[in-house]
C-alpha cells in the first residue's frame, strides 16, 4: 500500500459513470489537469444496462459500448482515469480539497466534482443479479419500452413504485404491483390514480423469493417471480417478462466529510452551476436533487459542472493575484 501525497490536480472527479466521464471530457477540453477516480471499470450503471434507446444520436446502443465510447472520448481530451476507491472528501483550511482513497493515496485539488451516483436497494434474491439488464431493472423510463405488450411486475409500495407502475402501463399489457404489506406507503393522490388504472393489479402481502428465467438463443430472459405470502407463508408464482424493483435508492453522498445542503431523501442540493453549499465542491448526476435521473440529465449536469469549475478556478486565481 502506498501513501502518496503529491497527486495534485485542478479538479478531482469522483465516479466514472456518464456524468464523471462527461465531466472529465469537458475538463480536458478546458485544459484543466483532471483525474477521474473510479472503483471499478468506467461506465457506472451503463454497464448494468443491456440496451439504451433514449440517448440522442443512438437509436440503439449497448450500455457497455456507450461506456467504452465515453471513456475513450474523455481520454482523448486528456482526462486521466484511475482505478481507486475513494474513502472521503475533506475540505482543507485553505478551501482546497483532499480526497483520500482506501489504497492509501491522497489527491489534492481546489475543486471536486462528485459524480458517484446512487445505489438502488436490491431485493437480494436468487435470479436478481443473473437477470439484471435482461428483465430485472431499476429504471422504468430506461427499460420499459423493451417490454411492449407484455406482463410486467413492479416490486414496492412507495411513491416511486406506484409512479413507475403507472408509467409502465403505456407499454405493458398488464402490470402487477407486488407489495409485502396490505397497504401502500405512496401518497393518496398517487394511490387513487393507481387504483383507477385497469391495467394494474396489486398483489398484496407478498415477498419475492426468487426471480426465475431462462436462456435461449444466447439470450437470458425473465419468466416468473416466486412469491411468499407474508401472512400465511404459502408460496406462489406469477408469470412476468420483467421485474422492476423500486424499494429504495441511496445517493452515494457519504464520501463528503462536511455538512452540505440536501433534500429530505439525502440528495445533494446545488445551485444552477452545480455547486453545492460547500464552495468548490460540485455535484452532477444521480446523487443531485432533481426531477429525473437519466443518462442525458447526468451528462447535462456534468457539462455545466465542468465549465463552472473553469470559471471558479479563474476567479480563485484572480483573488489570489489581487491578494498578492
Listing from the earlier edge strand, what are the strands of the sheet with 106-109? 7-8, 106-109, 97-101, 86-91
- Helix boundaries (H) for 110-242: 140-143, 159-168, 188-195
Q: Which residue has the cell 469549475?
A: 309
**DSSP conformation class of 138:** S
**Beta carbons of 212 and 189 less than 8 angstroms apart:** no
Q: What is the DSSP string of 46-69?
A: GGG-SEE--BTTBSSEEHHHHHHH
Q: Which residue has the cell 481530451?
A: 77
- Catalytic site residue from 22, 105, 142, 301: 142
CA distance 261 to 270: 8
- Dihedral of the alpha carbons of 233, 236, 241, 244, in degrees to the nearest 10: -10
Nearest to 33 by CA among 24, 22, 21, 42: 24
- Catalytic site residue from 54, 139, 159, 229: 139
With a CB cutoff of 8 Å and minimum separation 6, the contacts of 54 are 141, 142, 294, 295, 296
Residue 281 backbone dihedrals phi, psi, to 5 degrees? -105, 115
Is the four-CA dihedral 142, 147, 153, 157 of positive or negative sign? positive
- Helix boundaries (H) for the chain: 18-29, 63-76, 140-143, 159-168, 188-195, 295-323
With a CB cutoff of 8 Å and minimum separation 6, the contacts of 10 are 27, 32, 33, 34, 109, 110, 111, 309, 313
Is 143 an active-site residue? Answer: yes
- Catalytic site residue from 143, 243, 286, 301: 143
Residues assigned a catalytic role: 139, 142-143
Amino acid at each position: 500500500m502506498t501513501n502518496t501525497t503529491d497527486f495534485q490536480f485542478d479538479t478531482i472527479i469522483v465516479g466514472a459513470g456518464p456524468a464523471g466521464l462527461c465531466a472529465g471530457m469537458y475538463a480536458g477540453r478546458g485544459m484543466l489537469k483532471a483525474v477521474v477516480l473510479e472503483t471499478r471499470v468506467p461506465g457506472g450503471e451503463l454497464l448494468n444496462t443491456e440496451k439504451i434507446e433514449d440517448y440522442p444520436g443512438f437509436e440503439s446502443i449497448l450500455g457497455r459500448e456507450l461506456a467504452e465510447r465515453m471513456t475513450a472520448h474523455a481520454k482523448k481530451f486528456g482526462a486521466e482515469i484511475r482505478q481507486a476507491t475513494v474513502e472521503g472528501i475533506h475540505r482543507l483550511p485553505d478551501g482546497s480539497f483532499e480526497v483520500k482513497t482506501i489504497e492509501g493515496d491522497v489527491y489534492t485539488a481546489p475543486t471536486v466534482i462528485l459524480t458517484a451516483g446512487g445505489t438502488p436497494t436490491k431485493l437480494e434474491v436468487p435470479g436478481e443479479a443473473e437477470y439484471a439488464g435482461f428483465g430485472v431493472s431499476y429504471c422504468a423510463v430506461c427499460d420499459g419500452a423493451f417490454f411492449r405488450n407484455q406482463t410486467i411486475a413492479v416490486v414496492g409500495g412507495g411513491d416511486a413504485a406506484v409512479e413507475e407502475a403507472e408509467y409502465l402501463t403505456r407499454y405493458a399489457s398488464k402490470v402487477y404491483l407486488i407489495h409485502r404489506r396490505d397497504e401502500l406507503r405512496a401518497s393518496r393522490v398517487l394511490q387513487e390514480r393507481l387504483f383507477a388504472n385497469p391495467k394494474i393489479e396489486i398483489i398484496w402481502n407478498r415477498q419475492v423469493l426468487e426471480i426465475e428465467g431462462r436462456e435461449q438463443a444466447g439470450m437470458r430472459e425473465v419468466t416468473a417471480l416466486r412469491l411468499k405470502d407474508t401472512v400465511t407463508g404459502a408460496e406462489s408464482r406469477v408469470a412476468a417478462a420483467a421485474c422492476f424493483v423500486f424499494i429504495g435508492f441511496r445517493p452515494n453522498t457519504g464520501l463528503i466529510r462536511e455538512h452540505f445542503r440536501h433534500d429530505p431523501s439525502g440528495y445533494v442540493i446545488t445551485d444552477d452551476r452545480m455547486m453545492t453549499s460547500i464552495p468548490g465542491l460540485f455535484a452532477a448526476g444521480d446523487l443531485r436533487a432533481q426531477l429525473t435521473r437519466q443518462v442525458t440529465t447526468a451528462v447535462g449536469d456534468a457539462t455545466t459542472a465542468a465549465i463552472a469549475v473553469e470559471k471558479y478556478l479563474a476567479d480563485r486565481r484572480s483573488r489570489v493575484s489581487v491578494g498578492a
